[in-house]
Amino acid sequence: MRLPIQPVFLWTDILIDLLVVCTVIFIVYGIRKGHFRAIVRQIGKRPMAVVAFILLLCYLFVGLLDSFHFRLQLPSDQPGKETQEYGPDVLSALDFLVTPLRTHVEKTYSAPLAKVGYTKETVEDKAGVKHRIYPPLLYPGGHILGTDKVGNDVLYLSLKAIRTGLVVGSLTTLMMLPFAVLLGISAGYFKGWVDDLIAYVYTTLSSVPGVLLIAATVLMLQMYMDTHAGDFNSSAERADVRLFFLCLILGATGWIGLCRLLRGETLKISTLEYVEAARALGVGHCQIIFRHILPNVMHIILISAVLDFSGLVLAEAVLSYVGIGVDPSMISWGNMINSARLEMAREPIVWWSLTAAFVMMVGLVLSVNILSDAVRDALDPRLKER
Amino acid sequence: MTDYIIRRLLYAVPILIGINLLTFALFFVVNTPDDMARLHLGVKRVTPEATEKWKKEHGYDKPLLINRLEQGTKKITETIFFNKSVSLFLFQFGHADDGRDIGYDIQQRMGPSLALAIPELLVGLLINITAAMMLAFFRATYIDYWGVIVAVAMMSISALFYIIGGQFLISKLLRLVPISGFDDGTAMVKFLILPVFVGLLFGMGSGTRWYRTLFLEEIGKDYVRTARAKGLSESVVLFRHVLRNSLIPILTGVVVVIPLLFMGSLLTESFFGIPGLGSYTIDAINSQDFGIVRAMVFLGSALYIVGLIFTDIAYAWADPRVRVGKS
């Protein structure tokens, strides 16, 4: 008996699964030790933060559904016999759940909930007389947010774009955290030439304007992928590899801020009495770092991870507009905005795809920002004193 | 003070060298000049002769690091590394793929970039500091609470939205200013008003919030309590004491971006058709002209380092403890 589906693991899927496992472990650990009580209390105090939290959970739910990819088994051409073939399209669980949205494709633009097409067409009636009318849609009233240039449902596109936004925001953080934490803490703890070297590396990297470094790297990557086009099995895989590298590059430019903060904080902490006491007792460097320093800079790591997230989601849209973001074939808010931008000049204007992309983006970024405010107020001891 | 400045200048040298090596590795080692030629000529059906010709025309036909065919110092100088990377130190940027002199283009395009960036910076500072002072004055009231929420909402909206929305509302519906374009002299103003306004609106959320945090941090300090205990009015405390002491972080934050103003803004310039360095970079990225991108990366980094040195000097000037203490 063969499975009716064949799971497909894209690179970013695997990393997302890893991230989910890490987060769950972190949360369980935190709840056991009672670290999250302050955060939960802060969020509970603010109705707006509660709403933001629920909204964020919805986004996460859609994003996770969209991160499980598979190929469907093809329908058998001989009844009673199972085929061994799987379809060529890589679908996600979300695609499967919203199949009507995905498959109800119109010819071109249509306004939200419209019953007729966007442009007039010449249609022949039964008697053979030509009329110039708005042609009825294939699925009248079926597109809550209208359709885009090639007739795809805008609601479907906006839902699919959630995963891209979340991946850019979260995977980048996942990739930069180890660097930032390791380098920042060792620079502050070991001082001397280690500190000099690490400070040199991050000063050099941060001197290059971020956008230009990203542009240069993405251009190089694109060139590499063009010359090695044979290495990729499907366009989805190709787009996924590009997304992965985009996260990597954003991470390479993004770790510097946190690294600097951690270096400063570790410099302060490593002169405190309890660290000196540990050193006097003969505790090793590793143990001092993991037992005494890391837990005391955890709040900085958490705050900056949440703060960076929203910036990254916004950056994705801008980078995609510039042409150095995600693959043009990948559905993302940046690509939606980019393709809809020129349609503002049309009459009547095509406003729905732009609006949908902006509203979805604001929903995610605003809820993360509101939550991050609550988290910061809960964890930053300096703010507590006031 | 002179010692201090010289020390900072010397410290910049290894960083510049590091950037140079980084860009060299990025542009020539990851993809060879052969790949580059093939990309420009189209990947399929390219004869070796055609790639060689393209490389010769664009000066990529030399070895990367050491030229074994030449004698003496020419072993080093007749290489891609020397011609394309080391020459950047002398601000010799070479030629773009269409044959234009990159250095000349950069000079021509600095003006429009500055014309957009300077008003945006100055007016932005004024507005953001004023708004943040107001929030700090009304701290812990509903005005402050909602002000912060508005600021957070404003910074949650994509820059693209401000630009597209501004163009649509002001240029298309109200027809107050042209949608895009540029002109010399006073005619420039009508083209610049909208981009500056959009830039201000976009920067307001994060700017106000950041300055508010700075002010609130100062307000919590002991000397402010002393000033209040002396019976000074709230406005005197805010303007004389808090604003003055917050000026140090504000100043250092502003000084570091001043040299970068030359680089222009990628998004605004390309949307509004302003012929500055930002749109120059975007065009180069879209046409995959690596010569220009390389020049802009180096120029941007050099300007950032200049900004860092200015910041250090400004900091040392404002706070004597920095310049006498160990660096």
Residue A354, pLDDT score: 86
In percent, the amount of chain A with pLDDT more than 90 equals: 11
Averaged over B225-241, what is the pLDDT? 89
How many whole angstroms separate alpha carbon A48 and alpha carbon B175? 38
- Dihedrals phi, psi of B231, to nearest 5 degrees: 95, 15
How many whole angstroms separate alpha carbon A59 and alpha carbon A302? 20
How many whole angstroms separate alpha carbon B54 and alpha carbon B68? 22
Tokens of A41: 């209390």
- Which site among A59, A207, A303 would you substitute to test the B interface, given the most B Cβ atoms closer than 10 Å to its Cβ? A207
- Give every strand in the sheet of A5-8, ordered side by side: A5-8, A69-72, A91-92
CB pairs under 8 A between A and B: 127
In percent, the amount of chain B with pLDDT more than 70 equals: 93
How many whole angstroms separate alpha carbon B103 and alpha carbon A354? 38
- Tell me which residue in B15, B43, B160 faces A207 most closely, judged by beta carbons: B15
**Which residues does chain A have within 8 Å of residue B288's beta carbon, measured at their own beta carbons?**
219, 223
How many whole angstroms separate alpha carbon A369 and alpha carbon A378? 14
Q: Within an 8 Å CB–CB cutoff, is residue B158 touching chain A?
A: yes
Burial A307-338 (b: 16+ CB within 10 A, else e): bbbbbbbbbbbbbbbbbbbbbeebbbbbbbbb
DSSP B25-71: IIIIISS-HHHHHHHHH-SSS--HHHHHHHHHHTT--S-SS--TTS-
Q: Whole-prediction pTM value?
A: 0.85
Contacts 24+ apart (CB under 8 A), B107-111: B108/B275, B109/B264, B109/B275, B109/B276, B109/B277, B109/B280, B110/B262, B110/B276, B110/B277, B111/B276
Residues in chain B: 327
Q: What is the dihedral of CA B256, B262, B265, B269, to 10 degrees?
A: 160
How many whole angstroms separate alpha carbon B39 and alpha carbon B241? 60
- Dihedrals phi, psi of B74, to nearest 5 degrees: -65, -20
Averaged over A63-88, what is the pLDDT? 74
How many whole angstroms separate alpha carbon B52 and alpha carbon B35? 11
- Dihedrals phi, psi of A105, to nearest 5 degrees: -105, 130
Query: H helices within chain A, ranges in order?
Result: 11-33, 37-45, 47-65, 93-97, 99-103, 154-190, 192-207, 210-227, 235-269, 273-280, 285-287, 294-322, 333-341, 352-379, 381-385
| pLDDT confidence bin for B327, thresholds 50/70/90 | very low
Question: ipTM of the predicted structure?
Answer: 0.82
Residue A78, pLDDT score: 65
Tokens of B151: 């600021």
The dihedral through the CA atoms of A61, A62, A65, A68 has a sign that is negative
How many whole angstroms separate alpha carbon B49 and alpha carbon A130? 58
- Tell me which residue in B35, B152, B281 faces A373 most closely, judged by beta carbons: B152
Cα R_g (chain A), whole angstroms: 25
In this structure, of A380-384, B59-63, B299-303, the range with the lowest mean pLDDT score is A380-384
Residues in chain A: 386
- Which site among A193, A197, A206, A211 would you substitute to test the B interface, given the most B Cβ atoms closer than 10 Å to its Cβ? A211
Residues 6+ apart with CB under 8 A from A223: B31, B35, B36, B39, B288
* Model confidence pLDDT, tens digit, residues A146-202: 787 777 888 888 888 999 999 998 889 888 888 899 999 999 898 889 999 998 998
B74/A102: higher pLDDT: A102
Find the closest chain B residue to A311 by CA distance.
B156
Of A190, A118, A200, residue with least CA distance to A154: A118
User: Residue B124 above 90 pLDDT?
Assistant: yes
Q: Is A122 helix (H, G, I), strand (E, B) or coil?
A: strand
Please check whether residue A325 is in contact with residue A246, taking contact to mean a CB–CB distance below 8 angstroms. yes
Residue A383, pLDDT score: 56
Residues 6+ apart with CB under 8 A from B3: none
Residue A379, pLDDT score: 77
Burial class (CB in 10 A: 0-12, 13-18, 19+), B129: buried
Of B246, B321, B158, B249, residue with least CA distance to A358: B158
How many whole angstroms separate alpha carbon A181 and alpha carbon A186? 8
The average confidence (pLDDT) of chain A is 83
- Distance of alpha carbon A193 from the chain centroid: 37
Please check whether residue A314 is in contact with residue B159, taking contact to mean a CB–CB distance below 8 angstroms. yes
B204/A91: higher pLDDT: B204
Residue B290, pLDDT score: 80
- Tell me which residue in B36, B160, B172 faces A318 most closely, judged by beta carbons: B160
Across chain B, the runs of DSSP E, i.e. the strands, are none
- Which site among A203, A319, A370 would you substitute to test the B interface, given the most B Cβ atoms closer than 10 Å to its Cβ? A203
**Which residues does chain B have within 8 Å of residue A205's beta carbon, measured at their own beta carbons?**
22
User: Residue B123 above 90 pLDDT?
Assistant: yes
- Tell me which residue in B26, B160, B293 faces A321 most closely, judged by beta carbons: B160
Q: What is the DSSP letter of A146?
A: -
**CB-based contact B39 A226, cutoff 8 Å:** yes
How many whole angstroms separate alpha carbon B54 and alpha carbon B34? 9
* Model confidence pLDDT, tens digit, residues A280-315: 998 888 899 888 888 888 888 888 888 888 889 988
- Chain B closest-CA separation from residue A362 CA (Å): 6
- Which site among B161, B216, B262, B280 would you substitute to test the A interface, given the most A Cβ atoms closer than 10 Å to its Cβ? B161
**Which residues does chain A have within 8 Å of residue B220's beta carbon, measured at their own beta carbons?**
385-386
Q: Give first-to-last CA distance, chain A, whole Å.
A: 66
DSSP A211-251: HHHHHHHHHHHHHHHHHTGGG-SSHHHHHHHHHHHHHHHHH
The dihedral through the CA atoms of A18, A22, A25, A31 has a sign that is negative
What H or E segment, with its residue span, contains residue A330? none
Of A221, A177, A236, A208, residue with least CA distance to A325: A221
Q: Within an 8 Å CB–CB cutoff, is residue A225 touching chain B?
A: no
| pLDDT confidence bin for B239, thresholds 50/70/90 | confident
How many whole angstroms separate alpha carbon B131 and alpha carbon B135? 6
Residue A382, pLDDT score: 59
**Which neighbouring-strand residues pair with A147?**
A110, A153
Cα angle A270-A263-B322, degrees, rounded to a multiple of 5: 95
Residues 6+ apart with CB under 8 A from B209: B132, B148, B151, B152, B155
How many whole angstroms separate alpha carbon A139 and alpha carbon A135? 12
The dihedral through the CA atoms of A223, A227, A229, A232 has a sign that is negative
How many whole angstroms separate alpha carbon A209 and alpha carbon B303? 10
Tokens of A221: 């990557």
Please check whether residue A144 is in contact with residue A159, taking contact to mean a CB–CB distance below 8 angstroms. no
**Which residues does chain B have within 8 Å of residue A386's beta carbon, measured at their own beta carbons?**
216, 220
Residue A17, pLDDT score: 87
Please check whether residue A201 is in contact with residue A276, taking contact to mean a CB–CB distance below 8 angstroms. no
User: Residues 260 to 319 of A: which have CB under 8 A from any B CB?
Assistant: 310, 314, 317-318
Burial B74-108 (b: 16+ CB within 10 A, else e): ebeebbbbbebbbebeeeebbbbbeeeebeebbee
User: Residue B326 above 50 pLDDT?
Assistant: no
How many whole angstroms separate alpha carbon B243 and alpha carbon B250? 10
Q: Give first-to-last CA distance, chain B, whole Å.
A: 12
